[in-house]
Amino acid sequence: MVEINLDHIYKQYVGNDNYSVTDFNLHIKDQEFIVFVGPSGCGKSTTIRMIAGLEDITDGELKMDGKVINDVAPKDRDIAMVFQNYALYPNMTVYDNMAFSLKIQHINKAEIKKRVDNAAEILGLEDFLTRKPAALSGGQRQHVALGRAIVRKAKLFLLDEPLSNLDAKLRVSMCAQIAQLHQRLKTNMIYVTHDQVEAMTMADRIVLTKQGTIQQVGTPSELYNQPVNKFVAGFMGSPSMNFFEVQLHDDKVSTLDKKLDVQVPPDKLAILRDKGYDQKTITLGIRAEDIHTDQILLQKFAGAQVNAKVEVSELLGVESMLYVMAGPHEFVAKVNAQNSHRPDEKIQLAFDMSRAHFFDLASQETIN
């Protein structure tokens, strides 16, 4: 059983006026697959490197099973790390790359062989054990890097953007393999990525960070469906959520030019009024998949219809991505590909306002 606690962790690099990580609090439960995600420079690598012991912690406590490990040397932390650039030893065979850390620990040869063979079997590397890294594909090299972590039987795996050197197709299959590996090994894993799709598909819980500060911690569905603020709403999901500055009046929200003038369902209206937003300007957020062009749905959501002009239509397969303009307001709808539309065509769309999100204009926090 392994539990990891990050309590009020701060990081300030020498010579850097700003904190790279600010008041980072997280309790990682046994066997959890945690994904750190966020834009470049938000402090993901810094945090994972502090957990590995490769960076000092400026303030706060890092605990493993209740014991503070801030000053424990990296080699004594029972943590295995897999890097983006694989960091394999080029002159060693695959077998020796995987065996290296065990040899240093003076583990006996028979045990080393057992562990390396086991890792090779898990990762499908049995036929490559005598090769050097240069004679492997990118995916195979990443498997060796994972194998080195597996043989150590570490309590915690840290994976820092391990797939970013691989092509898109290989990334998808490696994602699935890493998720399976997690099931099989039953260890804690922390996985760093800037790709929200990877985060959504792999994580038990996602930690979304912006400029060194956690924005939200939760399951993929929580971050997608109940974002705490506009940043989380916009970061999770592809394409990004559509946002409009609107005013609340009567039972509607409208843009100033009334190009968008849609009814708000009673439950959401009650919350907005209760919180004092009547006649105030707020941000409306709606995802592309909650905007429709089907006749039946246009009727169903008759109070939330919008007239727009098609700019671009992208066929994705069963769905199309429609980039449209309602006056000066640009937004995107993901619609059934059978409803084909051409550029410059004038169309009607309907917002499913039961799926709409509202954000305070100043704080950008979700109104709920």
Supply the minimum distance, in Å, between the C-beta of residue 124 and ligand ATP: 29
Supply the minimum distance, in Å, between the C-beta of residue 104 and ligand ATP: 27
Query: Nearer to ligand ATP by C-beta: 42 or 284?
Result: 42
- Most distant CA atoms of the chain, gap in Å: 77
The answer to whether 108 contacts ligand ATP (rule: CB under 6 A) is no
Supply the minimum distance, in Å, between the C-beta of residue 212 and ligand ATP: 7
- Residue that has been written with the tokens 């997690």 in this structure: 182
Query: Nearer to ligand ATP by C-beta: 45 or 366?
Result: 45
Query: Nearer to ligand ATP by C-beta: 13 or 100?
Result: 13
Tell me the Ramachandran region of residue 258: left when phi exceeds 0, alpha when psi lies from -120 to 50, beta otherwise: left
Is 205 in contact with 190 (CB distance < 8 Å)?
no
Supply the minimum distance, in Å, between the C-beta of residue 14 and ligand ATP: 7
Supply the minimum distance, in Å, between the C-beta of residue 37 and ligand ATP: 9
Query: Nearer to ligand ATP by C-beta: 211 or 226?
Result: 211
**88 φ, ψ to 5°?**
-85, 155
Binding positions for ligand ATP, 3-62, rule CB under 6 A: 13, 16, 20, 38, 40-46
Is 32 in contact with 204 (CB distance < 8 Å)?
yes
Structure tokens at 102: 């065990």
Query: Nearer to ligand ATP by C-beta: 10 or 13?
Result: 13
Is 185 in contact with 32 (CB distance < 8 Å)?
no
Q: Is the dihedral of CA 162, 220, 40, 356 positive or negative?
A: positive
Cis amide linkage into residue 343, ω under 30° from 0? no
Q: In this structure, how many other beta carbons lie within 10 angstroms of the beta carbon of residue 74?
A: 12
Binding positions for ligand ATP, 308-337, rule CB under 6 A: none
Query: Nearer to ligand ATP by C-beta: 32 or 161?
Result: 161
Supply the minimum distance, in Å, between the C-beta of residue 161 and ligand ATP: 7
What DSSP state is assigned to residue 119?
A: H
Q: How many residues bind ligand ATP (CB under 6 A)?
A: 12
CA distance 292 to 348: 9
Query: Nearer to ligand ATP by C-beta: 45 or 283?
Result: 45
Q: Is the dihedral of CA 253, 257, 258, 262 positive or negative?
A: negative
Query: Nearer to ligand ATP by C-beta: 232 or 349?
Result: 232
Supply the minimum distance, in Å, between the C-beta of residue 178 and ligand ATP: 18
Q: How far is CA 266 from CA 204, 274, 275, in A?
A: 34, 12, 14
Beta bridge partners of 202: none
For residue 241, the Cα-to-chain-centroid distance in whole angstroms is 15
What DSSP state is assigned to residue 6?
A: E
Supply the minimum distance, in Å, between the C-beta of residue 89 and ligand ATP: 24
Query: Nearer to ligand ATP by C-beta: 195 or 261?
Result: 195
Beta bridge partners of 36: 192, 207
Query: Nearer to ligand ATP by C-beta: 18 or 279?
Result: 18
Interaction pattern, residues 190-219, with ligand ATP; x per rule: CB under 6 A: ----x-------------------------
Supply the minimum distance, in Å, between the C-beta of residue 215 and ligand ATP: 13
Which residue pairs, CB below 8 angstroms and at least 24 apart, start in 254-258?
255/327, 255/329, 257/327, 257/328
Supply the minimum distance, in Å, between the C-beta of residue 208 and ligand ATP: 11
Beta bridge partners of 314: 321
Is 157 in contact with 78 (CB distance < 8 Å)?
no
Residues contributing to the site for ligand ATP (CB under 6 A):
13, 16, 20, 38, 40-46, 194
